[in-house]
Chain A
Amino acid sequence: MAGETGSRSMVRAEGLNLYYDKLHALKDVDMEVPKNSVLSLIGPSGCGKSTFLRTINRMNDLIPGVRVQGKVEVDGSDIYDPSCDVIDLRRKVGMVFQKPNPFPMSVYDNVAYGPRVHGIKDRAELDSIVEKSLKDAALWDEIKDRLKKPALGISGGQQQRLCIARTLAVEPDVILMDEPTSALDPISTGKIEELIDELKKRYTIIIVTHNMQQAGRISDRTAFFLLGQVIEEGPTYDIFHRPADKRTEDYITGRFG
């Protein structure tokens, strides 16, 4: 259905298999994520959606005993090719985690962390990156007077937007989000969802969510994972209104999950 979109797809997986030692966690996953779109990954716990997310910035490399077969491309280059530099990859593919995880340092230093480790030392340049990133994360107005305050002292919702700002400061092309609102209250969740809608104009976003309504609200496409396989992938409206597979229908209507 998606066909060969060629250069239009930002992330592409082909025949992707992943093993944790003997456990076959991803089975022949094929996926195309168009540029500047939002893809939701849904499915019951342990279905492989987070694992798939973490193959895209190679965070799975950190787990001992992981083996990856097949192909994953980001912006046209094979990220599991031995010539791929993981550091460069992770600059291109940012990640926001389930639990807000700002560093125990000031708000400013959190946002400036990425640019600093990538070699930017000029104070004025850092200032402008921090301001721009916080503005893009819809946090600037709330936090501009508290840049020197510890990041752990702001609210959970603000912390998560700070983590998004921190990711934006590195200027990625793709942003991976692993259940970014599951630890937040509904109002904070709403703000993050609005933000995602804004961010997709400039970034390609892949988000894991357990919240069906959220997937429906924010994503252009949705993929349903079950037991390591992609059961169905397509435009979000179609997945929720006329799923092709019985298992997808059972899941989204709440018959299991």
Chain B
Amino acid sequence: MASLTLFPKAGNKASAEKRTERIIKGGLMLCALLSVLVVLLITVMVFKEAWPAIKQQGLLNMITGTSWKPTAAKPRFGLLPMIAGSFAVTALALLIGVPVGLATAIYGAELATVRVAPLVGRMAGILAGIPSVVYGFFGLMVIVPAVRLLGGTGMGVLSAGVVLAMMILPTVISVSEAAIRAVPGEYREASLAMGATKWQTIWHVVIPAAKSGIMASVVLAIGRAVGETMAVILVAGNIPVIPKGLLSATRTLTVNIALEMGYVRPGSLHYSALFAAAAVLFAFIMLINLSVRMITRGGSR
């Protein structure tokens, strides 16, 4: 519209431009709608396929059931061992990965020299590009034997947690580093000019100012850890029991689906129960997203 008044002589050309603008806008909107549609379709599909199992077993029974015996004469579809497994490996991954990743981000954004700083980001980029099966293989060859020294088979919560911690590092590093870099320089100047040390400035001013971005990095990391399948299959031991400690074998929700989807008969109760596991996973991710969004919104006020 503005182009019309700016270039009154351009007449036809202007209206052609206007049409192009409309087409571009429409095309972009279509793409935006497409991703919304995909989310909706996946949600509907997962819950639709999960419904028979949930209806037959009862949602509460499934979530609190401790026994997963899908092929027994009297099949049982308790998901609690897998929920506990996903929770345990994710929590451990965060416990290790977030502090290390945050420390790396602080180093890269605040302390590293001009020459070293870009390397931090580049390393994170390379880590992010490694396929998850390679992480799993690395876990199998290096981490599992190391954990075995502590006792047991070496496959279990600890190994999976460590491998996942490595896998969430790039997410934590890159998102946190960007958040820390986005903190205005004036805050640092004001703090230093009052005689605060560099570390006091980082800890009391920069990190709190970057809090919502750092929280966002943690949410993304949770999503990555909860959803990871391939690497976990290789190192977790995959026994569907509630883990009793760091060294015991465990099976996560994603692993449960990946392991059994291959041989299950489509349309069977077992098949539907696997979708119920996916639905639970889905609900978890939604819940985490929502709660963290509320936390960060409260913090920025």
A residues neighboring B (CB under 8 Å): 57, 59, 62, 64, 87-91, 94-95, 97, 99, 101-105, 113-114, 116-118, 150, 163, 166-167, 170
Contacts and interface: CB of A to CB of B under 8 A. Distances in A.
Given A99-B186, A167-B193, 15 more contacts: A59-B189, A59-B192, A88-B195, A90-B192, A90-B194, A90-B195, A94-B193, A94-B194, A97-B189, A113-B204, A113-B205, A117-B195, A117-B197, A166-B190, A167-B194
Task: Give the one of B184, B187, B196, B205 with max A CB within 10 A.
Answer: B196
Task: Give the one of A87, A97, A117 with max B CB within 10 A.
Answer: A117
B195 A113 contact: no
Nearest to A90: B195
B182 to A, nearest CB: 12
30 contacts: A57-B193, A59-B192, A62-B189, A87-B197, A90-B192, A90-B195, A94-B194, A95-B190, A95-B193, A97-B186, A97-B189, A99-B186, A101-B186, A101-B189, A101-B190, A103-B187, A103-B190, A103-B191, A103-B205, A103-B209, A104-B187, A104-B209, A105-B208, A117-B194, A117-B196, A117-B200, A150-B301, A166-B190, A166-B194, A170-B194
B41 interface: no
Contacts of B191: 103, 113, 117
A114 B204 CA distance: 11
A89 B204 CA distance: 21
Interface string B266-301: 000000000000000000000000000000000001
A59 B114 contact: no
A167 B195 CA distance: 10
Contacts of B187: 101, 103-104
B144 to A, nearest CB: 45
Contacts of A102: 190
Contact of A91 (B114, B194, B200, B204): B194
B195 to A, nearest CB: 4
A87 B195 contact: yes
Contacts, number: 67
A102 B195 CA distance: 16
A7 B301 CA distance: 49
A242 B184 CA distance: 43
Given A104-B208, A104-B209, A113-B204, A59 B193 contact: yes
Contacts of B204: 113, 116-117
B209 to A, nearest CB: 5
Contacts of B184: 101
Nearest to A153: B301
Given A104-B209, A117-B200, A150-B301, A163 B190 contact: yes
B167 to A, nearest CB: 32
Contacts of A64: 114
A170 B190 contact: no
Interface string B161-194: 0000000000000000000000010110111111
Nearest to A105: B208
Contacts of B195: 87-91, 114, 117-118, 170
Task: Give the one of B186, B191, B193, B209 with max A CB within 10 A.
Answer: B193
Nearest to A101: B186
A64 B189 CA distance: 15
B179 to A, nearest CB: 13
A99 B189 CA distance: 12
A202 B297 CA distance: 43
A62 B194 contact: no
Closest 6 CB pairs of A and B: A101-B186, A90-B195, A91-B195, A95-B193, A117-B196, A114-B194
A88 B195 CA distance: 7
A118 B190 CA distance: 15
A167 B26 CA distance: 54
Contacts of A101: 184, 186-187, 189-190
A22 to B, nearest CB: 18
Given A64-B114, A104-B208, A104-B209, A90 B193 contact: yes
A62 B190 CA distance: 13
B216 to A, nearest CB: 17
Contacts of B196: 87, 113-114, 117
B200 A97 contact: no
